[in-house]
Amino acid sequence: MKLSSSLFALLCLVCEIVSIALFLRGFFPVPVKSSLSAQSTESHVPAEPQTGSEPNTSKVPEPLFKRVVIVLIDALREDFVFGSDGRRFMPYTSHVVERGSSHSFIAKARPPTVTMPRIKALTTGSIPGFIDVVMNLNSPALLEDNLIWQAKSAGKRIIFYGDDTWVRLFPKHFLEHDGTTSFFVSDYTEVDNNVTRHLDGTLKRDDWDILILHYLGLDHIGHISGPHSSLIGPKLMEMDDIIKKIHASLISKESEGTLPNLLVLCGDHGMSETGSHGGSSEPEINTPLVLISPAFRRKVGFEKPGVLEQVDLTPTLALGLGLPISKNSVGHLIPAVFEELSLREQLRLLQINGHQLSRLLQDSNPTFHKEAGYEQFRVAEKSHGSWLKLYLDGNTSEVLSNMGKKVLKQYLEALKAMSSALSKQLGKYDMYSMIMGMIFILQVLFCLMLAMPEALSREAVVDVPLASSLLSLPFYLLCLFGSALHVLVCTSTGGTCYLCSLPWVLVFTVILLSSAFTCALVSMAARRMPASNKTPAKGSDWTLSELDALLLIGTVGHTLSLGSSSFIEEEHQTWYFLLNTLCLAIFQDVCRKYFREQRHRGEERDEGPLLPSSTEEGPSFSPAVELGMSSGSEKWLALATPLLTLTCCRLLRSLNQTGVQWAHLPDFGHWLNR
């Protein structure tokens, strides 16, 4: 089949784009989505077991908190509150954490640790993928079911001050808002004053239920001068004063007969040792989460904060406010928050959360029956029913309360298992689609390489032997093999791959095309073979020198090192190593050239010139001679250059520590800053 060059190029381009799309489809995990079309409502809440026909049993339980104030400090690292920095710069918060009626946790933020995906995670309870980073700067309104939407439709009045990402995500949800921009990174004072100036007035008012404050100053300081900068201390003290002010105001509003208030202090993500964020290092993902409310038992001493996922806050806040849990939320309740409730109420809340998680699992995983958490939840719900039956009969024995505690434990384990199964699914790659995409890309690439001489010739016509390959035996064998492989992969993975979900006709067409393409490639390659044999290549006497080998191995090694995802942050180390090795190799090469030559010449002088040495043969080009230098100084210059380069490399290295691991080591940058 003869094709014109432009048509051939167009076809290749289309194939390439489709293959890349297939690869990306496998590389970016599909978000876990519930099949519920609308936002989850009261009607999706399961009935309390055993109470069946009674009214009011399939409702979300009453709220636990009257008002909630969420103080979100951007890039608040876990050790800024729980570490030595916290004790020094946030004395009030540390006191509340250690001795007040509070619960404190280390909340793990999932990478990408960037503000917008984190806000989305906190409000929807799901885990946004890396694709969300691209949307970070231009975030459209959040359409997914989320806590803010739930609160607004339940008639809660929400006030927001802080990062305007929230205002863009929730354009019509706030009763009152004032956005600050994160665009001017060098400003870390005004950006926070613009939030705090509203605080006194708002705290005095009674016309709101939820107040959200998002402070950006700390993040900006991190970007300017890192987590050990002298600016961090005063900023943390400022934040501590704000916490103190809000807490005092909430306590003063507390009165008998009304529900208690809740103050939440959290960070959206942490801060790396260089002051940036986005990656997955420990300081970046560990954020503090402090819940303060008179509803909690007063602590007697410092307890090590427990570890949980950042998304666990979403269902906890939802049920704490008496709202349905957002349908795509993958977190589970924080049990400590509800431990002062009666056993019946606790079990009810866990059942609602479990029901929501099991439904999400059913919708997103075709093999949900095999998940341990799903089965555990079914068992727990059954024993919950039998416990409630005894409870409603008026049984108050010790045995019953022990049984209730057992059900509680079953529920907690089931929730944890389902939650982790869902999060795991979000981080899973679709290897089958990725490999197939890669094979197609390589096929097109080889085809382009083989067709290049024909396509660029005068006729500009490419002869792709498709017709002849359609009649060949290997084509049918390949088709058979491809189909068998497809069936095998799809049956063994349980149909979670994207390619398996496509219609059978489409997949078979792709297999046909790919097989024909492979056969055509082989025959094209065979056609070119004899041509290259007839004319012996000019550079056949070319041998691999040590330098060539080094460059080749270095390039391959560097390419391979890029395959390791965590090594990317320290990529410069590879560069340093390769550059130094190259310099040394060149040095050795130069030494050998000059000293061997010298010895060679010495020998010549002894025995008399038998053959003219190659250097005296003709006028060879030498830059040093051109510049008017003698050959002696040229030699020393050539010898000194690699050494000089090596010294410069060492100086460059200590100019500024790059990367994350060794960022705290002293360098010239630190010294000059001081």
Instruction: Determine if 74 is a binding residue for Zn ion (CB under 5 A).
Output: yes
Q: Which is nearer to Zn ion, 76 or 291 (CB)?
A: 76
What is the number of residues in the chain? 674
State the residue for tokens 């190799």.
585
Residue 77 and residue 287 in contact, taking contact as beta carbons nearer than 8 Å:
yes
Closest CB 430 distance from Zn ion, rounded Å = 30
Q: Which stretch binds Zn ion (CB under 5 A): 100-108, 268-276, 351-359, 407-415?
A: 268-276
d(CA 649, CA 655): 10
Closest CB 182 distance from Zn ion, rounded Å = 8
Closest CB 127 distance from Zn ion, rounded Å = 16
- Beta-strand pair 262-267/68-73: parallel
Closest CB 169 distance from Zn ion, rounded Å = 13
State the residue for tokens 């959206």.
268
Q: Which stretch binds Zn ion (CB under 5 A): 6-14, 15-23, 147-155, 261-269?
A: 261-269
| Contact with Zn ion (CB under 5 A) among 19, 40, 115, 346 | 115
Q: Which is nearer to Zn ion, 156 or 277 (CB)?
A: 277
Q: Which is nearer to Zn ion, 268 or 273 (CB)?
A: 268
Closest CB 277 distance from Zn ion, rounded Å = 7
Q: Which stretch binds Zn ion (CB under 5 A): 47-55, 266-274, 436-444, 458-466?
A: 266-274
Burial degree of 373 (CB within 10 A; 0-12, 13-18, 19+): buried
- Beta-strand pair 158-163/176-180: parallel
Q: Which stretch binds Zn ion (CB under 5 A): 61-69, 166-174, 264-272, 326-334?
A: 264-272
User: Token pair of 248, please?
Assistant: 């005092």
Q: Which is nearer to Zn ion, 74 or 454 (CB)?
A: 74
Q: Which amino acid is at 552?
A: L
Closest CB 121 distance from Zn ion, rounded Å = 12
Q: Which stretch binds Zn ion (CB under 5 A): 154-162, 262-270, 524-532, 537-545?
A: 262-270
Q: Which stretch binds Zn ion (CB under 5 A): 113-121, 172-180, 228-236, 378-386?
A: 113-121
**Residue 368 phi, psi (nearest 5):** -65, -25
| Strand intervals (E) in 240-379 | 262-267, 286-292, 306-309
Residue 278 and residue 112 in contact, taking contact as beta carbons nearer than 8 Å:
yes
Residue 317 and residue 337 in contact, taking contact as beta carbons nearer than 8 Å:
no
Closest CB 232 distance from Zn ion, rounded Å = 15
Burial degree of 354 (CB within 10 A; 0-12, 13-18, 19+): buried
Torsion angle defined by CA atoms of residues 10, 15, 17 and 23, in that order, rounded to the nearest 10 degrees: -170
d(CA 104, CA 82): 9
Closest CB 111 distance from Zn ion, rounded Å = 13
| Contact with Zn ion (CB under 5 A) among 268, 273, 284, 569 | 268
Burial degree of 404 (CB within 10 A; 0-12, 13-18, 19+): buried
Closest CB 669 distance from Zn ion, rounded Å = 24
Closest CB 213 distance from Zn ion, rounded Å = 14
Closest CB 264 distance from Zn ion, rounded Å = 16
d(CA 590, CA 385): 85
Closest CB 268 distance from Zn ion, rounded Å = 4
Measured N-to-C along each axis, helices 372-392 and 343-364 cross at an angle, to the nearest 10 degrees, of 150
Instruction: Determine if 164 is a binding residue for Zn ion (CB under 5 A).
Output: no
Q: Which stretch binds Zn ion (CB under 5 A): 107-115, 121-129, 367-375, 635-643?
A: 107-115
User: Token pair of 41, please?
Assistant: 């409502």
Q: Which stretch binds Zn ion (CB under 5 A): 260-268, 452-460, 519-527, 607-615?
A: 260-268
The 209-248 site mask, x for binding Zn ion (CB under 5 A), equals ----------------------------------------
Q: Which amino acid is at 130?
A: F
- Nearest Cα to Cα of residue 164 among 113, 219, 216: 216
Closest CB 487 distance from Zn ion, rounded Å = 47
Q: Which is nearer to Zn ion, 16 or 79 (CB)?
A: 79
d(CA 152, CA 173): 6
Residue 113 and residue 275 in contact, taking contact as beta carbons nearer than 8 Å:
no
The 424-453 site mask, x for binding Zn ion (CB under 5 A), equals ------------------------------
Q: Which is nearer to Zn ion, 106 or 478 (CB)?
A: 106
Closest CB 269 distance from Zn ion, rounded Å = 5
Q: Which is nearer to Zn ion, 209 or 268 (CB)?
A: 268
User: Token pair of 173, please?
Assistant: 């949800």
Give the H or E element holding residue 131.
helix 131-134
Closest CB 670 distance from Zn ion, rounded Å = 25
Residue 268 and residue 84 in contact, taking contact as beta carbons nearer than 8 Å:
no
Closest CB 413 distance from Zn ion, rounded Å = 33
Distance separating the N- and C-terminal Cα atoms of the chain: 71
Q: Which is nearer to Zn ion, 311 or 418 (CB)?
A: 311
Q: Which amino acid is at 553?
A: I
Q: Which stretch binds Zn ion (CB under 5 A): 66-74, 445-453, 461-469, 614-622?
A: 66-74
The 39-58 site mask, x for binding Zn ion (CB under 5 A), equals --------------------
Measured N-to-C along each axis, helices 232-253 and 217-225 cross at an angle, to the nearest 10 degrees, of 170
d(CA 250, CA 294): 10
Q: Which stretch binds Zn ion (CB under 5 A): 111-119, 313-321, 356-364, 388-396?
A: 111-119
Q: Which is nearer to Zn ion, 278 or 335 (CB)?
A: 278
d(CA 633, CA 624): 8
Q: Which is nearer to Zn ion, 226 or 642 (CB)?
A: 226
Q: Which is nearer to Zn ion, 214 or 348 (CB)?
A: 214
Chain position whose Cβ is nearest to Zn ion: 115
Instruction: Determine if 284 is a binding residue for Zn ion (CB under 5 A).
Output: no
The helix/strand/coil state of 342 is coil
Q: How many residues bind Zn ion (CB under 5 A)?
A: 3
Measured N-to-C along each axis, helices 504-534 and 473-493 cross at an angle, to the nearest 10 degrees, of 140
Give the H or E element holding residue 162.
strand 158-163
Q: Which is nearer to Zn ion, 115 or 328 (CB)?
A: 115
Q: Which amino acid is at 112?
A: P
Q: Which is nearer to Zn ion, 238 or 363 (CB)?
A: 238
The residues that touch Zn ion, with contacts defined as CB under 5 A, are: 74, 115, 268
